[in-house]
Amino acid sequence: MGLIKLLYQDPVAFLILATLLLYSVILHEVAHGGVAYLFGDDTAKRSGRLTLAPLPHLNLMGTLALFLIGFGWAQPVPVNYSRLSHQRLGLFCVSFAGCAANILIASIAIALLQIETIRALPFLAKSLPILIYINITLGALNLIPIPPLDGSRIVMCFLPEQLNRALSRIEPYGFFILILLIVSGLLTPVIISVQKLIFSAIVSILDFLRLI
């Protein structure tokens, strides 16, 4: 894993990257809560989860996993989906917000790497590619429609209520199903395909923005 190797090669770059990665998972959760607030649910706000202070968000296992295997999570932000206005649109926007935050972070990092003065700074040249990879991975994995990942709720926006109830019943077992699929390698081709799709979309949008 490039992150562990970076700790030994360049501690300064590692500290910068560690901070950026922690805020990658924090912003993922704040995005969920912030969009929920815009759609009428203030549960996250009342729980003190719309802050950028790290402590209310950090999850020990999720933080360790982030640094050890390149995929982690923060404490899930509380959302009362029944309080969202425009139910299906609200559900879609709240669910997609976390992935969008990670994709935005990756986009900014990719744009920064196009700047020669940024590439000339060794600690950024080493840390930004890892930041890009992990944020794209976070976005890709969370888009997979397995409860409790965000992708499952995104899919629910387009399914009839009967299928939504069936999908909800899987949620208590979803984490174990996800781990089994990851360990077995069955999920790897899907994640790689979504990673490539996200990366291509980011590069295409940045190329378009440069043209205008």
**In the predicted model, is pLDDT for residue 83 greater than 80?**
yes
pLDDT above 90 as % of the chain: 60
Q: What is the mean pLDDT of residues 177-202?
A: 92
Amino acid at 118: I
Q: What are phi and psi of 159, to 5 degrees?
A: -100, 155
Which amino acid does the sequence have at 29?
E
d(CA 128, CA 140): 18
Q: How far apart are CA 61 and CA 153, in angstroms?
A: 23
Would you tell me the crossing angle of helices 2-9 and 122-142 to the nearest 10 degrees? Answer: 160
> Do residues 159 and 167 make contact, with C-beta atoms less than 8 angstroms apart?
yes
pLDDT in tens, 16-68: 888 899 999 999 999 999 999 999 999 999 999 999 999 999 888 888 888 77
Among 67-71, 124-128, 189-193, which stretch is predicted with the lowest mean pLDDT?
A: 67-71
- Structure-model confidence comparison of residues 1 and 108, the more confident one: 108
For residue 1, pLDDT beyond 60: no
Q: How far is CA 166 from CA 66, 82, 115, 169, 181, in A?
A: 31, 18, 49, 5, 20
- Cα–Cα distance, 25 to 57 (Å, whole number): 9
pTM, two decimals, is: 0.90
Active-site residue list = 29
